[in-house]
């Protein structure tokens, strides 16, 4: 899913120049490889010829055609180098195919390529107060968060979605409803998209939790895979739910899906797709209203195309 910028600033980009320069790269690469192979050929043929006491034309690096044995070696080397060159060249264009880049998210192949757009809910009342939210349903979209939802709606309005999945927790639910307003396709709520359950930390200001529960808070911030609270491991649990959420999302009908949820489960969705474990929980970050794009090939292998796009929150009339 290519990103199409319809903002007026995009007209100022010198795109043709980039295309021209980019088009020249393959031919430059071919010339460099041919030169390297030519040098290897000369050295190899010269060495082979010296072993059988055959004359070599030092100016051209080729064996005299009157000497049959060395000529066979020359032909063999040329064919070998040509085969190597041909085998390498498809990678230039073939790199666009990301098959094998990541492990499949499903046990069975998909019927068609799928596009998944992930969105984090807008600013909430507890975000504004720097409170730990977790799975609590008491935090709701703030006025600014609702405005961010409308900006997301505008940025995504040119995209055709087959359906939308969202967390049923109010701040994400309200975000999804605002974005999805006016569309006739289904809006479905999945429990697998709920935020992590942080027990007695929920509702506490971060500064207070850091003072009252220093070890627990430190583990939450610095050692997520070993973070333990309320008899469980919330981040590890997120990974299990993220895998189930991917299965639900990708098993649904349609090729293009919108997902609206929370930061922690978004981190788990992204990391599981890229093959990273719970210890990498804080390796990615998603802002309120941030948008991520995934392309899933027919083997179920994911490609992260865009991470945490937020330009639409700052530039009016920006379309993805």
List residues with catalytic annotation. 121, 195
- In sequence order, what are the beta bridge partners of 293? 117, 306
> What angle is formed at CA 58 by the lines to CA 57 and CA 64, rounded to 5 degrees?
10
Residues tagged in the binding site annotation for substrate: 120-127, 171
Burial (CB < 10 A; 0-12, 13-18, 19+), residue 135, is middle
> How far is 152 from 179, CA to CA, in rounded Å?
7
Cα-to-chain-centroid distance, residue 234: 24
């Amino acid at each position: 899913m290519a990103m199409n910028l319809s903002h007026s600033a995009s007209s100022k980009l010198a795109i043709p120049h980039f295309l021209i320069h980019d088009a020249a790269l393959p031919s430059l690469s071919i010339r460099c490889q041919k030169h390297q192979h030519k040098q290897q050929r000369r050295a190899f043929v010269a060495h082979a010829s010296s072993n059988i006491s055959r004359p070599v034309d030092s100016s051209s690096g080729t064996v005299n055609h009157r000497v049959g044995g060395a000529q066979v070696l020359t032909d063999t080397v040329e064919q070998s180098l040509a085969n190597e060159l041909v085998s390498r060249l498809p990678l230039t264009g073939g790199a666009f195919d990301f098959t094998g880049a990541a492990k499949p998210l499903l046990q069975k192949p998909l019927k068609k390529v799928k596009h998944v757009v992930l969105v984090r809910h807008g600013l909430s009342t507890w975000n504004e107060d720097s409170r730990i939210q977790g799975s609590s349903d008491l935090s709701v979209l703030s006025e600014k968060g609702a405005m961010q939802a409308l900006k997301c709606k505008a940025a995504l309005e040119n995209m055709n979605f087959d359906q939308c999945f969202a967390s049923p927790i109010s701040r994400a639910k309200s975000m999804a409803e605002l974005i999805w307003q006016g569309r006739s396709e289904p809006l479905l709520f999945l429990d697998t998209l709920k935020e992590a359950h942080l027990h007695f930390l929920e509702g506490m200001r971060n500064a207070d939790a850091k003072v009252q529960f220093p070890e627990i808070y430190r583990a939450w911030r610095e050692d997520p895979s070993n973070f333990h609270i309320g008899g469980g491991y919330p981040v590890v649990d997120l990974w299990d739910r993220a895998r189930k959420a991917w299965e639900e999302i990708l098993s649904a009908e349609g090729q293009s899906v919108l997902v609206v949820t929370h930061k922690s489960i978004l981190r788990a969705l992204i990391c599981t797709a890229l093959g990273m474990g719970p210890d990498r929980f804080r390796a990615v970050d998603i802002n309120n209203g941030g948008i991520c794009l995934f392309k899933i090939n027919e083997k179920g292998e994911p490609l992260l195309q865009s991470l945490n796009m937020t330009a639409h929150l700052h530039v009016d009339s920006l379309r993805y």
